């Protein structure tokens, strides 16, 4: 039995980042992972989906905008299996990179599925639920097993007609038609991908807007944009039934008291994720859970001494960068190197369709719920030189600030480059910066980030270009 200072179950963006930070702090670390290093995000989520999104954007641009830019060619041929092969190669390359980081930092990567055997001991099997082939002993245990796709009650995944996002990332055949249940980030991104490649897409969302919880103005603009692209968007649509029908599927949804039955070749279920902690042996130590998620305190400690948990397995927000920050925080708490808790109010969220969507901090409604009076500044991309020049003038930047102090409380962007631009707004929120400071910071011209400055100027009463 090998002995370590810290054993981590799961090598996703939470587990692998925690492992590296722990090694930097002098711990002897073991990471237990049944699949490839990098977890769902790197192998079956964030990274391969972004590779496919890039292919979709490039294809759509060439087909619909090429002649406008003076680029003329014969019929553009789509090789969709190559799109998938490229995405898998990108994931494989980055997984190897994580494994090389383990070697560089002296971290032991143990292939297999971990299960708590007793206090301080993790049994590792070669398959889920299998017999132990080795045991890892450690002073501390960090659970970072992540999450998996959640299915609708009564809807069974078969990997052919009824898909999850993981199935879609491996599917090498484009469906002629597709219904997507769930208008969150995953559903919206796949709606964009398949529509761009020519699939007839219907997107159903139970809530009254896409990207539930996001700024309503942004959600409305996104819905209009997707409809202009040819996607059928139905919000306020509650799915009552979904079943295989002939060579396809049939979905029945209730929207505004009217029933609609939609037929398609395939169905993609994107209604959220559930934690992966059912077969971890939590009961043997009495680790507490709530609604399936592991309960932790601000230091990411469970109710059992020496057992910590981070990432999707402890609950929302289920984001890769949240898991990474929690992983760093957890190991720093372990060795007394940290007192500052993770500030969940200032974590950015991104959706990578076109136009992109990104946000950080409070919405106007969120601020009002806290009793904060706000003022908002907006700037449309259609008034921005760089956006018009590159042919991506959809969307806007919206800054929400404290009415009295002008402190930036939140920022909400829809448009090209939004997911990169949001970092400036996140830094502003972290530093409690004001729109006055943004307005007085010279932004290079022409850039998309000028829209942030202009939105701040709108609050300051000095907007120049709109």
Catalytic residues: 445
Token couple for 108:
């032991």
- Residue in this structure with the two tokens 């008034």, named with its chain if needed: 383
CA distance 398 to 383: 14
Q: What are phi and psi of 87, to 5 degrees?
A: -65, -40
Q: How many residues does the chain have?
A: 466
Around Cβ 1, how many Cβ atoms within 10 Å?
7
Question: 307: which strand partners?
Answer: 141
Q: Are 375 and 405 contacting, i.e. CB atoms less than 8 angstroms apart? A: no
CA distance 267 to 250: 8
- Let me know if 304 is exposed, middle or buried by CB neighbors in 10 A (0-12, 13-18, 19+): middle
CA dihedral 198, 203, 209, 212 (to 10 degrees): -100
């Amino acid at each position: 039995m090998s002995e370590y200072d810290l054993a981590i179950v799961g090598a996703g963006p939470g587990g692998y980042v925690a492992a590296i930070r722990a090694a930097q702090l002098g711990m002897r670390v073991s990471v237990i992972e049944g699949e490839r290093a990098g977890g769902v995000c790197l192998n079956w989520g964030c990274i391969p989906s972004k590779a496919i999104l890039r292919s979709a954007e490039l294809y759509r641009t060439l087909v619909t905008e090429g002649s406008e830019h003076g680029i003329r060619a014969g019929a553009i041929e789509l090789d969709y299996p190559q799109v998938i092969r490229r995405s898998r190669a990108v994931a494989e390359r980055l997984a190897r990179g994580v494994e090389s980081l383990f070697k560089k930092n002296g971290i032991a990567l143990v292939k297999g599925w971990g299960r708590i055997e007793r206090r301080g001991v993790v049994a590792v099997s070669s398959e889920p639920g299998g017999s132990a082939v080795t045991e890892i002993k450690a002073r501390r245990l960090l659970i970072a097993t992540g999450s998996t796709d959640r299915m609708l009650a009564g809807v069974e995944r078969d990997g052919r007609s009824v898909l999850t996002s993981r199935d879609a990332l491996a599917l090498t055949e484009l469906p002629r038609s597709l219904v997507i249940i769930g208008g969150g980030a995953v559903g919206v991104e796949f709606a964009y991908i398949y529509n761009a490649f020519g699939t007839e897409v219907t997107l159903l969302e139970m809530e009254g807007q896409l990207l539930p919880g996001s700024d309503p103005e942004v959600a409305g603009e996104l819905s209009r944009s997707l409809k202009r692209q040819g996607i059928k968007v139905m919000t306020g649509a509650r799915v009552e039934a979904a079943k295989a029908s002939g060579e396809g599927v049939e979905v029945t949804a209730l929207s505004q008291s009217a029933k609609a039955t939609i037929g398609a070749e395939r169905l993609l279920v994107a209604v959220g994720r559930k934690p992966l902690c059912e077969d971890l042996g939590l009961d043997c130590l009495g680790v507490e859970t709530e609604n399936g998620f592991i309960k932790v305190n601000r230091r990411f400690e469970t109710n059992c001494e020496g057992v910590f948990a981070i990432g999707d397995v402890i609950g929302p927000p289920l984001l890769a960068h949240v898991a990474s920050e929690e992983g760093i925080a957890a190991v720093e708490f372990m060795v007394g190197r940290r007192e500052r808790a993770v500030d969940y109010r200032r974590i950015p969220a991104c959706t990578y369709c076109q136009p992109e969507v990104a946000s950080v901090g409070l919405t106007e409604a969120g601020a009002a719920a806290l009793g904060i009076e706000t003022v908002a500044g907006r700037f449309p991309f259609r008034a921005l030189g760089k956006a018009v020049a590159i042919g991506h003038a959809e969307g806007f930047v919206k800054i929400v600030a404290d009415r009295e102090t002008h402190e930036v409380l939140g920022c909400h962007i829809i448009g090209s480059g939004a997911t990169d631009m949001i970092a400036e707004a996140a830094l502003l929120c972290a530093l409690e910066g004001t729109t006055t400071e943004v307005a007085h910071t010279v932004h290079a011209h022409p850039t998309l980030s000028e829209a942030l400055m202009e939105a701040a100027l709108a609050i300051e009463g000095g907007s120049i270009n709109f």
